[in-house]
Amino acid sequence: MSESTMKSYLADHPRMIGAVFMMLLLLTQAGNAAAGPITIISGP
């Protein structure tokens, strides 16, 4: 979606602003969890 399309959609549907915010928040948290420390055990 282009920026103007997203702005007009959110202007028409103000309740979706919270939903979009929560999705972005969850995605950033999932990215941080995926990039966390990884333990590698090699050998017996």
Which pLDDT belongs to residue 28? Answer: 85
Distance (Å, rounded) from C-alpha 10 to C-alpha 21?
12
DSSP string, 9-39: HHHH-TTHHHHHHHHHHHHHHHHHHHTS---
Tokens matching residue 29: 């948290």
Structural domain boundaries in the chain: 3-34
Does the pLDDT at position 29 exceed 90? no
Distance (Å, rounded) from C-alpha 6 to C-alpha 36?
32
Mean pLDDT within 7-29: 90
Q: Name the residue with tokens 């017996």.
A: 44
Of 23, 31, 19, 43, nearest to 10 (Cα)?
Answer: 19
- The model's confidence at residue 12, banded by pLDDT at 50, 70 and 90, is very high
Does the pLDDT at position 15 exceed 80? yes
Whether the model pTM is above 0.85: no
- Over the chain, what is the mean pLDDT? 82
